[in-house]
Amino acid sequence: MKRYLRLTSILLAFFIILPLSSCFDPNYDWDLPERDPVILPPIFDLPEVTQAIETAPPVITETPEEGLILRLSDDGTHYIAAGCRDKNIESLTIPNKYNDLYVTEIADYAFAGMKKLRYISIPDSILHVGYKAFEGCTSLAYVENLNVLYLGNTKNQFRVAVGFKNQTDRINISNATVVIADGAFEKCNKVTQIYLSSRMRTIGDYAFRGCTALESFEFGNSVSYIGESAFASCSKLSKIEIPDSVKEIGASAFEGCTALRQASTGNGVKVIESNTFAACTTLEQISIGAAVNHIKEMAFFGCKSLRDISLPAVIQHVSASAFLDCLALKYEIYKGGKYLSGGDSDYFLLYEVPDREITTLPLHPDTAVVAYGLFGSLEKLSTILIEENYGSGKNIRVANNCIYRLHDYNTVVMGMNHSRPYASSGELVIGDYAFYGCDLSAMERLGRSVAEIGDYAFAYSRGADSIRFFSEVRSIGEGAFMNCHSLQSIYFSGTKVERIGDRAFYGSALSGELSLPTGLKKLGASAFEGCTKLENVILSDTLVEVGNRAFADCTSLRGVQICPSTVSVGVDMMVNTSAGIYYTGDFESWLKVANRDAMKALAPYTVYCRDGSVSYN
């Protein structure tokens, strides 16, 4: 009871001091929609944030504000304006910087429903304004010019284009505008022409989705980001030329542009995201930029008219579903496999094997890339090989039914059913997506020389009910065993594992008790989220940081043991569980653990320390 009263006094004192020390509240228990429910951003521990606020350099503001909620980005590089504690304030200023980091985003729905808000100052640091961030702000005074509505600051009142006043056939965006907010011109179905600012950097998610009359669009040379579904369902858009200034194109950006015939991705883009050009049924030709190294799932799904495509030599990963239902695609065929050209070879990418009953698959010696997930559906395939040059092709090598990089025989870049990776001298690295969707019945044959397991290396695989990590494994990548629904147990026989990546075992069938290995320092976000049969977890005595939602939705979880080495626990670490927290240190040590009070939706819960317990309500 004394511990409980002491904690209550500390919190009460903090909330009395807070209004005097700062108007920012990075620890407010916000509840905002998230596009990706798997990873939630961190929120700092209350005492540490209070200290940081007191020592931070002063922020110059244009108008008084109350209760602005700032949260740190997932990678810790910037802040996001996520909402406001006081929903009745009339004026609000977002700072340019906070704790020496720029505030660069406004979250989805951040200020939605604030009916009394009349003025908001958006700093020059803001590069992204979330979906419906100001929905329901009925008193907010926008700056209007040529039928377009803007928000900004005293120096640039046109900085962010947030929408339109009335349906129109032409949109002229101010030359001072840098950002188009998410969904700003969504379903403006009369607009046929749009003129961008020459300073434009960000075209937000859903910005022009459903503009069904839009016929052409000029990006200019300053745009660096094209958002998710930004032009989805623009059914009259016929041509897209993306400039080299664009570094990122969001998923589904041009999905359903059924009149699109020509497109180019520019030379600044490295990843073509999932569904980017899906259902562009009249797309005949696309120029893939020289920097593209990854084409994700369903990127060109349903492009029934697409004929010519040439892939750059730098490509490393292509999903087996990327060109699904591209019926007119020009390809070369070699002994049962379909190939697309790239680099200086007509057999650059093996992307499809039509015969699902195939047992032996020879690869063309010029093959550079095999689409990941390709072997997952070929249940009778028992042998892959390169017939010429004694198993070495131009860019890859095949040994024991695994594909290796030609100049690094210790890196497996693709495996298959019942794989037996060949390990030459040195350490074996299982590359990204290497056994994606495959049968892991012979997983134990990987051997003790495996040192690193890449991102999504065994994701969506089947056939293995247990995995043994041998003494040399140091790193388990992001999503490495994600959604392996047959995987019931894992064993760590060594002490070298230092990192388990985000979503590493997300959605697997792990059950019973899980002991993480000594030597582990970082456990990624959502690492074991959705493991509904997991009952108890013992965190290692070397673990420093536990990611957000690490054990969220583990509905059978009853207890998690945390050691004093852990200095930060993730937000929502055990949300939607009935687990107790067993802390092997004393109460004073527990009070120093970052985010201990930020495990949203857990309360009431009890932490059992070595010298007593504390209850949170």
Domain of 567, CATH number, reads: 3.80.10
What is the spatial distance between Cα 193 and Cα 233, in angstroms, rounded to a whole number? 16
Summarize the confidence of residues 97-105 as an average pLDDT: 92
Per-residue confidence band for 616, with pLDDT thresholds at 50, 70 and 90: low
Q: Is the pLDDT of residue 323 over 60?
A: yes
Residues 509 and 443 in one domain: no
18 token code pair: 């807070």
Residues 488 and 613 in one domain: yes
Per-residue confidence band for 310, with pLDDT thresholds at 50, 70 and 90: confident
Residues 361 and 434 in one domain: yes
Within a domain: residue 518? Answer: yes
What is the spatial distance between Cα 49 and Cα 337, in angstroms, rounded to a whole number? 58
Q: pLDDT exceeding 90 applies to what percent of the chain?
A: 58
Alpha carbon 55 to its chain centroid, in Å, reads: 33
What is the spatial distance between Cα 78 and Cα 73, in angstroms, rounded to a whole number? 6
Q: Buried b vs exposed e over 480-506: b needs ≥16 C-beta within 10 Å?
A: bbbbbeebbbbebebebbebbbbbbbb
Please give the residue that has the higher pLDDT: either 394 or 303. Answer: 303
Give residue 22's pLDDT. Answer: 30
Please, are residues 196 and 174 in contact by the beta-carbon 8 Å criterion?
no
Domain that holds residue 29: 1-108+122-131
Q: Is the pLDDT of residue 43 over 60?
A: no
Q: Is the pLDDT of residue 502 over 90?
A: yes
What is the spatial distance between Cα 583 and Cα 495, in angstroms, rounded to a whole number? 22
Alpha carbon 234 to its chain centroid, in Å, reads: 26
Q: Buried b vs exposed e over 537-559: b needs ≥16 C-beta within 10 Å?
A: bbbbbbbebbbbbbbbbbeebeb
Give residue 377's pLDDT. Answer: 84
Please give the residue that has the higher pLDDT: either 613 or 153. Answer: 153
Within a domain: residue 230? Answer: no
Mean pLDDT of the chain: 84
Q: Buried b vs exposed e over 395-417: b needs ≥16 C-beta within 10 Å?
A: bbbbbbbbbbbeeebbbbbbbbb
Per-residue confidence band for 603, with pLDDT thresholds at 50, 70 and 90: low
Please give the residue that has the higher pLDDT: either 154 or 76. Answer: 154
Task: Provide CB contacts within 8 A for 559, sequence distance 6+.
Answer: 536, 537, 579, 580, 581, 582
Most confident region among 318-332, 413-427, 460-474 by mean pLDDT: 318-332
Within a domain: residue 196? Answer: no
Q: Buried b vs exposed e over 82-117: b needs ≥16 C-beta within 10 Å?
A: bbbeeeebeebbbbbbbbeebbbbbbbbbbbebeeb
Within a domain: residue 161? Answer: no
Of 515, 550, 548, the residue nearest 529 (C-alpha): 550
Please, are residues 564 and 578 in contact by the beta-carbon 8 Å criterion?
no
Residues 370 and 495 in one domain: no
Q: Is the pLDDT of residue 450 over 60?
A: yes
CA-based end-to-end distance of the chain: 13
Residues 459 and 547 in one domain: no
Q: Buried b vs exposed e over 139-160: b needs ≥16 C-beta within 10 Å?
A: ebebeebeebbbbbbeebbbbb
Within a domain: residue 423? Answer: yes
Residues 512 and 459 in one domain: no
Residue whose pair of structure tokens reads 């998230």 in the numeric block: 34
Q: What share of the chain is helix, strand, coil (3-state, %, to 5)?
A: 5, 30, 65
Give residue 40's pLDDT. Answer: 27
Residue whose pair of structure tokens reads 């006094």 in the numeric block: 9
Q: Is the pLDDT of residue 447 over 70?
A: no
Give residue 17's pLDDT. Answer: 33
Residues 451 and 512 in one domain: no
445 token code pair: 């044959």
Summarize the confidence of residues 370-386 as an average pLDDT: 89
Q: What are the residues facing 383 on neighbouring strands?
A: 360
Residues 496 and 602 in one domain: yes
Residues 429 and 522 in one domain: no
Give residue 534's pLDDT. Answer: 94
Q: Is the pLDDT of residue 329 over 70?
A: yes
Give residue 332's pLDDT. Answer: 96
Within a domain: residue 160? Answer: no
Residues 23 and 82 in one domain: yes
Give residue 594's pLDDT. Answer: 79
pLDDT tens by residue, 266-281: 999 999 999 999 999 9
Give residue 2's pLDDT. Answer: 42
Across 199-276, the runs of DSSP E, i.e. the strands, are: 202-203, 225-226, 239-241, 248-249, 262-264, 271-272
Q: Of 131, 163, 187, which residue constitutes the final position of a domain?
A: 131
Residues 531 and 455 in one domain: no
Number of structural domains in the chain: 3
What is the spatial distance between Cα 510 and Cα 485, in angstroms, rounded to a whole number? 9
